[in-house]
């Protein structure tokens, strides 16, 4: 049995923590730092997500994980000028595909990504490492690293940044086991492939599903496969922009995911991009200030801005969000009531993928038809616990 000692378990007082494999060698190597229990959870879940996402879309992928759920995930679609501004990327800075995917995954929910664990589907190159070096992050997992990228990353956190390299050819046994309270649960791993073949059947009157929506739904569904349930994911242009995880009610998931998506869209607006921050205000402070401003909670604007900044009005907020359209949403299980659809529509959602199977499926489909939305009921549940 190959083992690796961990710093501690879920909490510092939980000692005797180890990572092990029953047969053969561990498929990962710690290149720098020392791993904790939660680090391993985030690393292994994140790796599976980006591996599956690249397989489903043929695009380089990245994910930002916190507490066993993704804060963001994305594929490598080129950044436009507005995205560069909101992610603090200079117009002249050249980005590799992996760096682009990382920036988009990290930018989905920057507050939640603070202190995250990063997963990359391909080699971590110098372009990506330079961007990671600027962020507050606990660690990274990738299948390979350029020597120059390793040199950069090893300087993070005063040399303690956790760097894990995983063997991309590793495939675990089909059967997985979990011990809880001295009892062992056994099941087959969730090995379902979430590619375009599962985007069927369409059950609404509107059956027009463009390729852009197909990509977004695949990003959302593959993200949900590794998100603590109940969960809902909102995606646009190959990027998860709102993840509602671990809620006890389905509408709670939708509200949380859509609220995060709304904040992402607001942050992309001219109003926010033109906020007159003083020179020297760091990106983390800017992230927090923008979030407080959008929520009407900012109280120390004079310390941050060069001039007077008026609060965001309800009319301004509604005007920005009213223009949002062509957004996709996926759910890890069925919608029990139409309130989920009505809330999603207010955030520009026009394409939905869910399992179906509720006694009120007809009501949910009717709600989609009223809003001229496209909905897939693929009979696939994606619970994670």
Number of domains in the chain: 3
Q: Is 378 a catalytic residue?
A: no
What confidence tier does 370 reach under pLDDT thresholds 50, 70, 90? very high
Same domain, 338 and 198: yes
SS3 330: strand
Over range 75-79, report the average pLDDT: 96
Q: Judging by beta carbons within 10 Å of its beta carbon (0-12, 13-18, 19+), is residue 64 exposed, middle or buried?
A: buried
Whether 342 maps to a domain, the answer reads yes
> Using CA atoms in the order 359, 363, 364, 368, what is the torsion angle rounded to 10 degrees?
160
Nearby residues of 118 by Cβ (< 8 Å), 6 or more positions away: 46, 62, 63, 64, 65, 102, 105, 106, 132, 137, 139, 140, 141
CA distance 4 to 169: 20
Same domain, 302 and 336: no
Q: Assess contact for 67 and 38: CB atoms under 8 A.
A: yes
Same domain, 89 and 205: no
Q: Tell me what pLDDT residue 87 has.
A: 94
Q: Assess contact for 131 and 100: CB atoms under 8 A.
A: no
pLDDT tens figures, 260-281 = 999 999 999 999 999 999 998 8
Active-site option among 66, 156, 260, 265: 66
Same domain, 351 and 303: no
Q: Is 32 a catalytic residue?
A: no
Same domain, 10 and 140: yes
Same domain, 369 and 282: no
**Enclosing domain of residue 304:** 275-317
- CATH code for the domain of 69: 3.40.140.20
Same domain, 25 and 154: yes
Q: Tell me what pLDDT residue 24 has.
A: 87
Same domain, 43 and 143: yes
Whether 182 maps to a domain, the answer reads no
Same domain, 311 and 325: no
> Using CA atoms in the order 97, 98, 101, 106, what is the torsion angle rounded to 10 degrees?
-140
Same domain, 152 and 297: no
Whether 196 maps to a domain, the answer reads yes
Angle at 338 between CA 336 and CA 343, to 5 degrees: 115
**Segment among 15-24, 107-116, 183-192, 222-231 with least mean pLDDT:** 15-24
Active-site option among 67, 157, 206, 288: 67
Best CA proximity match to 153, nearest among 166, 168, 167, 137: 137
CA distance 93 to 96: 10
Can you read off the two tokens belonging to residue 263?
A: 């904040």
Angle at 345 between CA 376 and CA 350, to 5 degrees: 45
- CATH code for the domain of 308: 1.10.287
Q: Is 222 a catalytic residue?
A: no
Q: Is 67 a catalytic residue?
A: yes
What confidence tier does 110 reach under pLDDT thresholds 50, 70, 90? very high
Active-site option among 39, 222, 230, 378: 230
Q: Tell me what pLDDT residue 252 has.
A: 96
CA distance 282 to 278: 10
């Amino acid at each position: 049995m190959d083992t690796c000692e961990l710093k501690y378990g879920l909490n510092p007082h939980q000692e005797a923590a180890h990572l092990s494999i029953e047969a053969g060698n561990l498929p990962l190597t710690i290149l720098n730092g020392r791993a904790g229990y939660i680090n391993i959870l985030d690393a292994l879940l994140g790796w599976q997500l980006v591996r599956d996402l690249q397989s489903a879309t043929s695009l380089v992928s990245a994910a930002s994980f916190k507490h066993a759920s993704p804060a963001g995930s994305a594929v490598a679609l080129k950044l436009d000028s507005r995205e560069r501004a909101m992610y603090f990327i200079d117009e002249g800075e050249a980005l590799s595909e992996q760096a682009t995917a990382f920036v988009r995954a990290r930018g989905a929910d920057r507050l939640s990504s603070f202190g995250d664990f990063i997963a990359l589907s391909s080699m971590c190159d110098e372009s990506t490492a330079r961007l990671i070096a600027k962020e507050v992050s606990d660690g990274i997992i990738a299948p390979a690293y350029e020597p120059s990228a390793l040199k950069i990353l090893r300087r993070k956190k005063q040399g303690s940044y956790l760097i894990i390299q995983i063997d991309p050819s590793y495939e675990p046994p089909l059967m997985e086991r979990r011990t809880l309270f001295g009892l062992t649960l056994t099941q087959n791993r969730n090995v379902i492939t979430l590619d375009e073949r599962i985007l069927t059947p369409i059950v609404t009157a509107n059956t027009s599903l463009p390729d852009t929506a197909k990509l977004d739904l695949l990003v959302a569904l593959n993200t949900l496969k590794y998100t603590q349930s109940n969960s809902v994911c909102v995606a646009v242009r190959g990027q998860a922009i709102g993840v509602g995880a671990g809620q006890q009610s389905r509408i709670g998931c939708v509200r949380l995911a859509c609220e995060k998506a709304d904040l992402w869209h607001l942050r992309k607006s001219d109003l926010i991009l033109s906020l007159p921050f003083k020179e020297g205000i760091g990106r983390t402070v800017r992230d927090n200030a923008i979030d407080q401003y959008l929520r009407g909670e900012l109280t120390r604007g004079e310390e941050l801005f060069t001039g007077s900044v008026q609060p965001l009005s309800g009319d301004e907020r509604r005007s920005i969000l009213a223009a949002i359209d062509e957004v996709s949403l996926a759910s890890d299980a069925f919608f029990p009531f139409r309130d989920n659809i009505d809330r999603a529509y207010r955030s520009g959602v026009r394409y939905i993928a869910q399992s179906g199977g509720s006694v009120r499926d007809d009501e949910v489909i009717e709600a989609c038809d009223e809003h001229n939305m496209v909905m897939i009921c693929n009979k696939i549940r994606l619970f994670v616990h």
